[in-house]
Structure 1
């Protein structure tokens, strides 16, 4: 038995509320359970109830046992002087306020449905499970699960929007700069994400604006800030980049001392930072007002057209500056664009609409449903329990479920946990 379970029972009235009596056998009529307090002080504020037809208004404190009142020294704390009812699972002693007046006690043990307790104990019985409900996850009604996943998806977007708000403040409300930083991070993928973000943050977006009409200068800017132009390479393209970068570095007083070093190790050649930086440069060369475009379009196909980007010609025959390779057009794949949509474009669109006071939830839902589900260990594990993830909406929601609910044992705040407890 956990105290938060009793909070849940009380808050949602999951007990027989029609025949309540105090431990002194005084009838209780519950008018309002009060407001759940998650900070210090009594557990529920401003509850209303009648005891022996006398209306009381005040706070409610909840414990496993009555004696916990003294274990927590509440009898010495003025914050508990306004407690009008002590709700416990098991009554083992009378309790008193600081002025020695007795507080009425409700023992819940006899009012909670036995099946509810069995289901609760089953959910939290095995600590070695991947998630608490893994044995029963497949039984959850699809309607309940799908509605819960939609809520979780927007929870995850809300969390991402807070990070975007921080970037927005740092950039003095420059949405183009925020988009540039987030795109750079995601072009770097997991291995070089922090490096690409530090690179983007080392370049004022006004500088990107000034040079983006010249693709080679934009590449020089990115490669130079990334520390990739410090070697002795004997080819015309490399030497031109070095000359351009030295000019830009002096003109705009740039420094790359805070840029995190790039990694090539254990990357597929198509994900080498050289290729991704050239593609990022091509994106900003092709689209002078990228933020306006991504805000105005809504369909996945339109986004595929915007991000139909290839490297500059040098990289069609190279993966590094030194070694020539077979000629290939190195363009952004649809799978890569999907990742940009999931991790950058949709969160930015959501956050911008929120800042602008617009509701685009339906638009966001429709777009997310058209994008393929991500594939990773967490998504695979959920799908093994029950085929669940059919789109990016589902996969993002499942990641939110695992990290923010399952891992933190918040089953009582989860629609899946609730459905399994109250069968």
Structure 2
């Protein structure tokens, strides 16, 4: 039978093996009093364990491997961090190993002791060819366990995004207005252009944009120019105006060189998602929201509030253009679609609130995030389809964001035994 080391970790952690007449490979009687705390960092796998070996109490660490020889293969015999190991737990014992000081390490071999139900469940779990390895078991898992896992994965997903936001908090010395502005630009890149959008926001700070709160055309010239979009061949009158104003303010504000055009991605991007169009929409939002973060924290409670704030219409020029000096064949509606507004609620508002709650240590922001996500309809994409195919139907964006988190953090890397659903699947029948 083939399995990964995390399976042995789970066997030890949940004690899924026969403990009657337990002995080490050398025949010493063994009793397990405390399994220890799993260590996810450097050093032995479990710390603060307690065993009774041949009638004597031992306190220390437990190391877990598939084979005993993995001890030497991983270089533990010369690592002083492993001198405190009191028990080596393995599936198969194939050689004697020792600590750095030369003393032999007591070894427990689990082969032949693991509950048969657990082995069968694990084999069934890893042998499926389906996208979700636990698909065949999902109908047997209680709803409370599924919900708990969705919440956990959602929080882990939000924490990753909060780390990105906190980097900007540090870079701006805690200026949350500037942070909200930068995060808005990052999210308006919609993945494919998120990096240059963030760069644009850093190079054209919010304080300069706010100086022209009552001059949306100047705001647009500043942003289009810094993005490098004003330098077109055969410019029309609007583009010429944009370039002239940008050049004036670039010198006045001592702005850095404009972003190089090759940093932006237009290939395989729908015209409605072109960065030039997105910048025009950003200008419409910013010209109506001179204190962005304050509005987002005080005026927005549900999706309808966000829709009201972000439904600003760009300059009429963009109804007939998708880039400066490049006309579209027919007029286009440049208002943000309902789907785009929902995506901004999910990817812009919620992570910003969550990061702010972590920064201020105010737990109520977490609940506010959850309430907001439950106000957004369930998303539709290939990941969500994999869950609905198995009759697990999301009710709202809270569920779908949790599903995306489960897929990215557990399903794709096959960390089933770190997932509550996988752990539930593994356990033996009563």
What is the TM-score of this pair, normalised by structure 1? 0.89
Shift in Å, 1:68? 4.2
CA distance, structure 1, for counterparts of residue 328 and residue 84 of structure 2: 79
Cα distance change, pair 386–19 in 1 and its aligned pair in 2 (3 A)? farther
Q: 1:365·1:393 contact (CA, 8 Å) conserved in 2?
A: yes
Q: 1:373·1:390 contact (CA, 8 Å) conserved in 2?
A: yes
Shift in Å, 1:354? 1.0
What does residue 336 of structure 1 align with?
340
Does residue 280 (structure 1) correspond to residue 282 (structure 2)? The answer is yes
Stretch deviating more after TM superposition (72-81 or 2-11): 72-81
What does residue 33 of structure 2 align with?
31
Q: 1:184·1:200 contact (CA, 8 Å) conserved in 2?
A: yes
Stretch deviating more after TM superposition (389-398 or 131-140): 131-140
What does residue 110 of structure 2 align with?
108
Does residue 315 (structure 1) correspond to residue 323 (structure 2)? The answer is no
CA distance, structure 2, for counterparts of residue 85 and residue 267 of structure 1: 57
Cα distance change, pair 346–259 in 1 and its aligned pair in 2 (3 A)? farther
Does residue 372 (structure 1) correspond to residue 377 (structure 2)? The answer is yes
Cα distance change, pair 140–224 in 1 and its aligned pair in 2 (3 A)? same
Shift in Å, 1:156? 0.2
CA distance, structure 1, for counterparts of residue 243 and residue 180 of structure 2: 27
Does residue 242 (structure 1) correspond to residue 221 (structure 2)? The answer is no
Find 1:358's aligned residue among 343, 354, 362: 362
Q: 2:67·2:93 contact (CA, 8 Å) conserved in 1?
A: yes
CA distance, structure 1, for counterparts of residue 391 and residue 62 of structure 2: 40
What does residue 199 of structure 1 align with?
200
Cα distance change, pair 289–98 in 1 and its aligned pair in 2 (3 A)? closer
Q: Counterpart of 2:211 in 1: which secondary structure?
A: helix
Stretch deviating more after TM superposition (405-414 or 236-245): 236-245
Q: 1:233·1:239 contact (CA, 8 Å) conserved in 2?
A: no
CA distance, structure 2, for counterparts of residue 225 and residue 173 of structure 1: 25
Shift in Å, 1:322? 4.2
What does residue 292 of structure 1 align with?
294
What does residue 118 of structure 1 align with?
120
Cα RMSD for the two superposed structures? 2.7
Q: 1:275·1:315 contact (CA, 8 Å) conserved in 2?
A: yes
CA distance, structure 2, for counterparts of residue 265 and residue 2 of structure 1: 41
Give the unaligned 5+ runs of structure 1.
none
Cα distance change, pair 206–69 in 1 and its aligned pair in 2 (3 A)? closer
What does residue 44 of structure 1 align with?
46
Q: 1:58·1:82 contact (CA, 8 Å) conserved in 2?
A: yes
Q: Counterpart of 2:398 in 1: which secondary structure?
A: helix
What does residue 166 of structure 1 align with?
167
What does residue 53 of structure 1 align with?
55
Shift in Å, 1:352? 0.7
Q: 2:49·2:60 contact (CA, 8 Å) conserved in 1?
A: yes
Shift in Å, 1:418? 1.0
Q: Counterpart of 2:327 in 1: which secondary structure?
A: coil
Cα distance change, pair 170–258 in 1 and its aligned pair in 2 (3 A)? farther
Q: 2:228·2:259 contact (CA, 8 Å) conserved in 1?
A: no
Shift in Å, 1:375? 2.5
Cα distance change, pair 287–63 in 1 and its aligned pair in 2 (3 A)? closer
Cα distance change, pair 171–97 in 1 and its aligned pair in 2 (3 A)? closer
Stretch deviating more after TM superposition (195-204 or 86-95): 86-95
CA distance, structure 2, for counterparts of residue 41 and residue 266 of structure 1: 47
Stretch deviating more after TM superposition (48-57 or 80-89): 80-89
Shift in Å, 1:323? 2.8
CA distance, structure 2, for counterparts of residue 39 and residue 349 of structure 1: 29
Find 1:403's aligned residue among 401, 408, 411: 408
Shift in Å, 1:172? 2.4
Cα distance change, pair 259–168 in 1 and its aligned pair in 2 (3 A)? farther
Stretch deviating more after TM superposition (198-207 or 382-391): 382-391
Does residue 150 (structure 1) correspond to residue 155 (structure 2)? The answer is no
CA distance, structure 2, for counterparts of residue 30 and residue 405 of structure 1: 30
Stretch deviating more after TM superposition (246-255 or 31-40): 31-40
Q: 1:198·1:259 contact (CA, 8 Å) conserved in 2?
A: no
Q: What's the CA shift string for 1:72-103, capped at 9, x where partnerless?
A: 56555544443322322234555555565544
Cα distance change, pair 90–189 in 1 and its aligned pair in 2 (3 A)? closer
CA distance, structure 2, for counterparts of residue 256 and residue 189 of structure 1: 24
Q: Counterpart of 1:387 in 2: which secondary structure?
A: coil
